Structure 1
Amino acid sequence: MNAGCLFPVKTIQQTSLKKRLLRAIAPRLNVTTHTNHRILLNFKDDDDINGDIVRTASLKSASISSLTARSPKMEKKEQVYQYIVVMRHGDRLDNVDPLWITQSQRPWDPPLHQDGKTRAFTTGQSLRQNLGAPINRAFVSPFLRCLQTASEAVRALCTVADPNNLSSDADLSKIKVSIEIGLCEMLNRQAIRANVAPKDGDFKFNISECEAQLPTGTIDHSAERVYEKLPEWEETAPAARARYMEVVKALADKYPSENLLLVTHGEGVGSVFSAVMNGVTVYDVEYCGFTILRRCIHLGENQSFAAGELTHQSEFGIKFLAAADE
């Protein structure tokens, strides 16, 4: 008997039976794994009997999420995990150069400082190396600091360094990027200083101009936005926090088979983290701080799916107090 084989080969009669059985079930085997684990399905030649090679399957795995034998009468379902990364933008220029707002026509919409661009790129690199699953889509607040953060992070997520070459290659077609207005800053004086907010409440966002800040070839114009327009100026903090969670859930349900990166603001990251953790109080989110959420998805036929609850996997740069600490 070969080590690791599913079926021992002892006699010609037994071999013939197992050969037919393997042929019957092999096309119906479906293997789904957690991204951090690897399943290897090897076929080995065991014996040559009357000119026929008997092939048996060896299944090796450190951890298996699911292994199902399907039949035509069974409903086809596949279990996968969906990852959602909710990230704050990088270092904004006006916090480094306070005089910038006196020279800008859009003082409420500062760009990133160079340190912020560097931080956004290295955060994208870290996610690519450590998330354990590829990011398929990114959704971005229309504010310039978020657009520039997403641009750097997406480039890093799509860049594969060649150890034999000093240059690196970025395949930007791997990730589709869209503007999501619902990820915008909390629109009140708590988040936007009154001396820089537009007097008429019009933040003058142009979607085409926003998209021009993103890497060429990544824009998905077909994606429908959850919010088609900005919330009214002076929205309440509870309304804004509910909005962030609403957008996360809506986008997750629209793309259940894809992993998402949502680039937003500190309040957005903190609101989502607090909602999922249930009871914690977030008092600071660092630049490019993020929370990683995960849920189990059962994909069915005709784009149907069933989803588990969003759970917290890990976070970076989020400072908070648990209920017992307050």
Structure 2
Amino acid sequence: MLTTSAFSLRPLPPLQFSLSLSRSLSLSKLLPPFRSRQPLPSRAHTMMNSSSTASSKTLTPDGGDRQRSQQNVVVMRHGDRIDNFEPLWAASAARPWDPPLVEAGKVRAFCTGRKLRTYLGFPIHRVLVSPFLRCIQTASEVVTALCAVDGDTLVNSDGVKIDPSKIKVSVEYGLCEMLNREAIRAGMAPKDGNFDFKISELAALLPAGTLDKSVERVYKELPQWEETVIGARTRYEQIIKALADKFPSENLLLVTHGEGVGVSVSAFLKDTTVYEVEYCAYSHLKRSISFGENRSFTAGDFEVFTSNGKTGISYYPSGAISDETLNQPDVV
């Protein structure tokens, strides 16, 4: 049985790497690695479209009419997808581009949710999730664990009672998989380019009472098929910032794909290259928020609070690997 669970990013000579998705399929496309960039300066905003604000008890007065707080954003990869464990699944699947989780993937997602609840040190207020089925199922398990009123010893969501008022969930197209042949396997993409996500059907898979129907998506539709890798990585960086700005008084969990999780580290941690993202791996970003009058706020730069290898993400300082290592062939 295939057991690979990591999204592997092996760097090759300058601005190239090999992406191994599973033991059953190794892509040798030459792609640029995750590269970090200098953070942008702090930005001033007016709060728009946020459906709720944090309690004043969570904010510390900072002189005059301004209040200062910290915003946390957790970016998480989905759980174990079925086509990495059952290679023949896609041959008869109605939607081969949209594999569900295997049961072990649901268990991993639920247990990761319990881990977040126990060890994060702050509450998650809102979850935003890619429309791909594996991400919806991952979010469902994680949200159940985060909202559970009992069952701290359970390993799956079966029969768990929840308090749906704790977290609100929305589907966000901007968090979707890279829509290109590097990410969607050969011959699996819909021939007409229509991925046909039915939001109402996906919403029905989320824990009852958690869907926030009032939220307007940042991306009104999916990105175009055959977006470039660089374009997709830019999208992931922008959607992380846009969602944080949309809900500045809330701590967020973004459930997305391996590439998006890698970008959540490399885009905000200077001179860093991410080379592996495991199933249900997650990063933790934090920034300061200063609130003013008329729902305005000023946001600081995101800082990365994710140690190498601790939460399933492996990275190293850019330029730290020798040319000899870079030229070693992949072993899958």
Structure-2-length-normalised TM-score: 0.74
Q: 1:163 to 1:269 in 2, by over 3 A?
A: closer
Once the two structures are superposed, residues 272-326 of structure 1 have per-residue CA deviations (whole angstroms, 9 ceiling, x without a partner) of 2110112211111000001000011112232111111111012510112212422
Residue matched to 2:316: 321
- Correspondent of 2:94 among 94, 101, 105: 105
Once the two structures are superposed, residues 65-85 of structure 1 have per-residue CA deviations (whole angstroms, 9 ceiling, x without a partner) of x566xxxxx632221111000
Alignment partner of 1:191 is 2:183? yes
Which has the larger displacement, 167-176 or 77-86? 167-176
Alignment of 1:187-226 (within 5 A): 187-226=179-218
CA distance in 1, matches of 2:67, 2:203: 35
Letter of the 2:210 counterpart: T
Alignment of 1:19-30 (within 5 A): none
SS at match of 2:298: strand
Structure-1-length-normalised TM-score: 0.75
Once the two structures are superposed, residues 14-43 of structure 1 have per-residue CA deviations (whole angstroms, 9 ceiling, x without a partner) of xxxxxxxxxxxxxxxx9767xxxxxxxxxx
CA distance in 2, matches of 1:163, 1:227: 36
Residue matched to 2:128: 139
Query: What stretches of structure 1 move > 4 A for 4+ residues in a row?
Result: 30-33
- Correspondent of 2:145 among 152, 156, 159: 156
Once the two structures are superposed, residues 228-274 of structure 1 have per-residue CA deviations (whole angstroms, 9 ceiling, x without a partner) of 11111110000000001111101101111000000000001001211
Aligned Cα root-mean-square deviation (Å) = 2.0
Residue matched to 2:170: 178
More strand by percentage: 1
**Unaligned residue ranges in structure 2 (runs of 5+):** 1-55, 154-158, 322-332
**Unaligned residue ranges in structure 1 (runs of 5+):** 1-29, 34-65, 69-73
Residue matched to 1:3: none
Alignment of 1:44-123 (within 5 A): 75-123=64-112
CA distance in 2, matches of 1:324, 1:142: 35
Residue matched to 1:127: 116
- The share of aligned pairs that are identical, in percent, is 57
Q: 1:162 to 1:142 in 2, by over 3 A?
A: closer
Deviation at 1:197, TM superposition (A): 1.1
Q: 1:197 to 1:131 in 2, by over 3 A?
A: same
Deviation at 1:162, TM superposition (A): 6.9
The answer on whether the counterparts of 1:138 and 1:175 sit within 8 Å (CA) in structure 2 is: yes
Letter of the 2:135 counterpart: C
More helix by percentage: 1
Once the two structures are superposed, residues 170-201 of structure 1 have per-residue CA deviations (whole angstroms, 9 ceiling, x without a partner) of 21221000000000000011001122111111
Computing the radius of gyration from Cα coordinates, the structure with the larger value is 1
SS at match of 1:222: coil
Q: 1:94 to 1:163 in 2, by over 3 A?
A: closer
Q: 1:163 to 1:198 in 2, by over 3 A?
A: closer
